[in-house]
Structure 1
Amino acid sequence: TSVLPAETDIFLLGLAVQKDLLLSWLNPADSPPPAIITTRQPVALDALLTPEIQWVLAQLAEPRPTPYLDAFFYKIKVQELLYFLFQELARRAATPARHLHAADVAKIYEVRTALLAALNSPPVLPALAQAAGLSETKLKQLFRQVFGTSPYDYYQRARLEEAKRLLQHHSVSEVGYRLGFTNLSHFARLFEKQHGLTPKKYQATHWR
């Protein structure tokens, strides 16, 4: 289970696309369709939202001023979301895929939960592997297959996403220290690299 922070706006979007329609958008005549669509093996894929996907979702959450254009608008935005999703999956294509067992997927999500529960402390791979009952090698391989990145990089991105939320209510220094940064300049550089704004500039337009 997940605990949602208090006083946080939650926007949920469910998206379902028929396989034939999706294939027609992906132009399979020009190149082979992604393996995720054609495989008969179990698949588990997860990812933090990229800035591009967050931007599209923000547009979808806004009220529409011209209702007669809604169908056109939503079709375009759905295609945008799928484009960014498959762009991310294409980036992962070079990662060799292992056959996934349900028990292994459950263990990988336990590791993810442990990472998110301690964003003020960098992950220690041997401890994570031991707690999950996996070898370090298998943990790294399965984690990258499911989440598209290493445990440490996932932790770092999640930490900077949490910083965005906290900056709406707390000072830059308080947020940095709360998330385990001992050097606020380093925190500011990482935040700007991921979000395109320094913490102060982000806070100036998002303070509540």
Structure 2
Amino acid sequence: MFFEDYTKTGVVYHIATINDLKKIIEEGIQYDDKVTYRTKYCDFHQFLDHHRHEGIPTWVNRSRAIFASMNYRNAPLFHSHSVVLAIRIDEEKCWVANENRANQLYEPFVLKEIPQFDSANAYINNVGIELIRDYWGSSLSFKDNLQKRYDQKEGYDAEVLVLHSIPPEDIEILYIISDHRVLTLQEWMGVFLKEDI
């Protein structure tokens, strides 16, 4: 794993664009405080919520979640101009699910409105519904996951649905991704904030 285990660090990891970093540092993180929430994800989250199992607690709602990762496999690839944040969470208000299942449905969901991709609707209504059932069926509370460790199973890419706001004091900047270089905050400052430039 890229980081030490949660049982040692007590944090999960959130990726954000550097364009949001000032607001994050000043105000923390809320589920709907980024433009991408409305433009890229809101409808998708609502679709998955609509097909949620009856056994999932009502407070577990993708449409109101901040997404984080338990950890990353060795040598993760991050997008340039993003930041990796360590966030402290309330374990009682978090849920864990297999992001792989949601990811397999995202592109067809987005592309279905384009005429040449309209056959994606058939995929969504057949394979997609099964993926959603598996997504919710293999999900569990954060605390249960710490006992069962689904996040460490092969093929289970654990996403943490953080169902509370994250205040600035519970956020630490770990890395800034600069042109595909993964730099610690100190390394980034050493490159870009040299006084002799």
Same fold at TM > 0.5: no
- TM-score interval, smaller chain: 0.3 to 0.5
Q: Which has the higher contact order (CA 8 A, sep 6+)?
A: 2
TM-score with structure 1 length normalisation? 0.33
- Greater C-alpha radius of gyration: 1
TM-score relative to the length of structure 2: 0.34
